Structure 1
């Protein structure tokens, strides 16, 4: 029996909780290091002062937009390759893997070029003041160039996960995060003959680490594993592979890219409260990515489980896995929220030199984290719908979440209760959307089950 069939058998017949644990634990370690990119950058840049910290906070919605595109492309890649590998169609699986990496590099490269020519107008729309623009330019020009090298390992790791390997992607992500953490203080503050580069040094350390990870993943996939072709695809091959990936990837990427768009809107609103508020919002957003790491890891390991069991018409296992993940995430994130509440003062002091910024960071940590478990339900539901090959349902839910609940509620509560209202509104919006998401998934699964009867 082939390795692919063994993986399929394990996902279909193994103990649900143990299977999800086996797949998720390696992802958590790797993603902690991957998410440390933004958090480590934010920490060292905060030592430069409030203006650089506010500047890097403004970059978050924009950088996450390109990252979201890669995530969506990874979702499509994983879904298509897993199906082909499960069918034993290895040639098409390799061709699709090659096409996925070429497609992601092309799309991200185009967006990076556009972004490089529009830094000033885009960040002006976000509310960045003229005094912050030099810092933003120093960071973003390098980061845009680096984003192409981010696309390669992110999509390449999706190829590995589609083949049932969650350990190697974790090692690659952990290595990239470790390299970035080592280079950050050296390039930001300068050491010996290396000059001080300030906020631009944070972007350069990211570029170097992503280049190393790109070379590693390409060698691994093309030479060691044979999961992609060791050449560029012909135009015809590229079109065929891209079409199958984009069927799922475009709605998934669109759903992911809505989050930074909504974040940009709120950043613009928060900017009305001053640079200190923007700096606090940026720190809180980076901490949010880091403290919801388990949710993000589950959102990458739950879909293969769901896809395999749906293919075997084992709907009971799909239901059990989904609700097990939901309950676990709610309990885990509640513990994380309590911990952040208890350590809010210490964390605020760690990330802020000025008392005004520290107080706002602490206010964020006292309120917003209590919605992380609810947000986890939303994320898991979206990834599960993509696994069910219902990407338009996931996209619809994302639109409802952001533009029916999240933005209107936070903005409205901000008008009434100022910055405290914005923070509390985020929790209220996540509560409303979590209930909608659970109902939607239950209904969608019932429809799919009826169709197979």
Structure 2
């Protein structure tokens, strides 16, 4: 099992340790991203309108997922820091509390979404004739959302303990189940009637149920990594620790779908084909950035444990070496996307206009994915050293000072081409700020530690 215990994380060579932790996560992320891409692919076969309808759901579903991601970040940071300080029982209790509060909070947010589905999507710019399709998908998705959050938090507990193989297996199995069920439920098979977009939502819910069963068995019966009993800490104290990091992290993550909603509304001005192409492009972005996303899950536990043990130089080295790798890797991915762009467009679009716009997206925006990786990893590193407000501010600056405003200005000057170029420039400006801010903040932390050391 790809488990990196505290002694390895705190003392072993940095690059091999991060590589050992990250490679299993990459395979898990491939299946997780294919989970969403498979949905998009099969729904695209229903026509442009269903594809456009589902594209409108991305910002909303990602808002709920962002809350779960934020709580997972808080969970991982708190547990990993406790493990670095050799407080094992406290770490187990933090994990149990995280599972409970995340389920409650996601249920509350999804309930609001369920009750106001029509109003939300009309505000996002969806046309009235698309609302019925959107509701068919989202009503089931909202009801099943708690089944999504539990495996996400459970995986955060495992990663905080240095185990990245098990989360990748859980994610991979869920993605495989979804891929098998999608065409059966969307188009029908044998005695099963075709359900359209509703079938895609049901397929997701079934795959999440299996994920919940697997993760709870692993955490409680197999590994004994969570508990709701701890004589040295109350439920309220553990909740405050997790939410202190988790809520700002969730807020930072929620800004992304809010910005995506604004971007979708801007793109909607160019018609349904543009929205459909933008939705496909967003899914491509997830796949193209999967190594960055995997690192954003494995770098924070490494940083948190070393930060908790006072090993700041290992934190700095891990951060810098990871960013160098990401810049080179993402440029190679961009070159690959340039070569396969026509084939990707043909796979996801029947209409020539949609195909052309998908290729336009690929030619421009992925060039900045390395810079976007710098931003993502800096955000996760801020959370790992318990500076969640820095991560939140960085997200605000990126999305609402640079990304959206410059993209909007670009759309006014050069239509969709200008929008994509503007978004790429937003990533550039924010990446520069992110790198110098984290490096400076870590240096200040080191100086304060040295001053307090006798």
TM range (shorter): over 0.9
Return the alpha-carbon distance in structure 1 between the equivalents of residues 418 and 70 of structure 2: 32
**Aligned residue-pair number:** 448
1:238-259 alpha-carbon deviations (Å, 9 max, x no partner) = 4232111101101111111101
Name the counterpart of 1:352: 349
Name the counterpart of 1:155: 153
1:132-171 alpha-carbon deviations (Å, 9 max, x no partner) = 1111011100111121100100000111111111110000
Tell me whether 1:416 sits opposite 2:413 in the alignment: yes
After superposition, the CA RMSD in angstroms is 1.7
Structure 1 stretches of at least 4 aligned residues deviating more than 4 Å after TM superposition: 231-234
C-alpha spacing 1:244/1:323, structure 2 compared with 1 (3 Å): same
Which structure 1 segments of 5+ residues have no match?
none
1:32-73 alpha-carbon deviations (Å, 9 max, x no partner) = 111112111000000000000001100000111111111110
1:385 pairs with 382, 387, 400, which one? 382
Greater shift, 78-87 or 100-109, is seen at 78-87
C-alpha spacing 1:130/1:233, structure 2 compared with 1 (3 Å): farther
Return the alpha-carbon distance in structure 2 between the equivalents of residues 87 and 446 of structure 1: 21
Name the counterpart of 1:105: 103
Name the counterpart of 2:272: 275
SS at structure 1 position matched to 2:195: coil
Shift of 1:232: 9.6
Shift of 1:308: 2.4
Return the alpha-carbon distance in structure 2 between the equivalents of residues 381 and 91 of structure 1: 30
Return the alpha-carbon distance in structure 2 between the equivalents of residues 374 and 408 of structure 1: 18
Q: Are the equivalent residues in 2 in contact too, given 1:95–1:237 (CA < 8 A)?
A: no
Q: Are the equivalent residues in 2 in contact too, given 1:99–1:233 (CA < 8 A)?
A: no
Return the alpha-carbon distance in structure 1 between the equivalents of residues 81 and 392 of structure 2: 22
1:196 pairs with 194, 197, 200, which one? 194
Which structure 2 segments of 5+ residues have no match?
none
Return the alpha-carbon distance in structure 2 between the equivalents of residues 451 and 65 of structure 1: 37
1:218 pairs with 216, 230, 238, which one? 216
Q: Map 1:33-432 to 2 at 5 A.
A: 33-229=31-227, 237-432=234-429
Name the counterpart of 2:430: 433
C-alpha spacing 1:312/1:105, structure 2 compared with 1 (3 Å): closer
SS at structure 1 position matched to 2:128: coil
1:27 pairs with 9, 16, 25, which one? 25
Return the alpha-carbon distance in structure 2 between the equivalents of residues 385 and 417 of structure 1: 36
Q: TM-score, normalised by structure 1?
A: 0.96
Q: Are the equivalent residues in 1 in contact too, given 2:82–2:308 (CA < 8 A)?
A: no
Q: Are the equivalent residues in 1 in contact too, given 2:6–2:83 (CA < 8 A)?
A: no
Q: Are the equivalent residues in 1 in contact too, given 2:52–2:272 (CA < 8 A)?
A: yes
Shift of 1:233: 10
Q: Are the equivalent residues in 1 in contact too, given 2:81–2:307 (CA < 8 A)?
A: no
1:273-330 alpha-carbon deviations (Å, 9 max, x no partner) = 1000000000000110111000011111111222222233333322221111111111
1:380-436 alpha-carbon deviations (Å, 9 max, x no partner) = 111111111111111111111111101110001111101111111111110111111
Name the counterpart of 1:450: 447
Return the alpha-carbon distance in structure 2 between the equivalents of residues 50 and 233 of structure 1: 54
SS at structure 2 position matched to 1:253: helix
Return the alpha-carbon distance in structure 1 between the equivalents of residues 106 and 312 of structure 2: 37
Return the alpha-carbon distance in structure 2 between the equivalents of residues 31 and 87 of structure 1: 30
Greater shift, 319-328 or 164-173, is seen at 319-328
C-alpha spacing 1:130/1:433, structure 2 compared with 1 (3 Å): same
Greater shift, 333-342 or 301-310, is seen at 301-310
